[in-house]
Amino acid sequence: MFCGQCGSRLLLCHARSGRGRIYPYFACSARHAGRGDCTPAGDADRAGGAAC
């Protein structure tokens, strides 16, 4: 999968919700590296930018 905004690959990350539930989401690799401000569709950022 690739970011629809910058074309970088998407990383599969796992975030932990406030209740301890772990769920997967996709994050733009460019954004993950601090080189972008993309917000690809999906569950990304529901946890407030949890680390990969």
* Residue number with CB closer to Zn ion (17 or 37): 37
* Residue number with CB closer to Zn ion (16 or 43): 43
**The tokens of 23 are what?**
């769920």
Residue from the set 2, 30, 33, 47 that interacts with Zn ion by CB under 5 A = 30
Cα–Cα distance for residue pair 1/8, rounded to 1 Å: 9
Please report whether residue 6 would count as binding Zn ion according to CB under 5 A: yes
Asked whether 25 and 10 are in contact (CB, 8 A), the reply is no
* Residue number with CB closer to Zn ion (1 or 22): 1
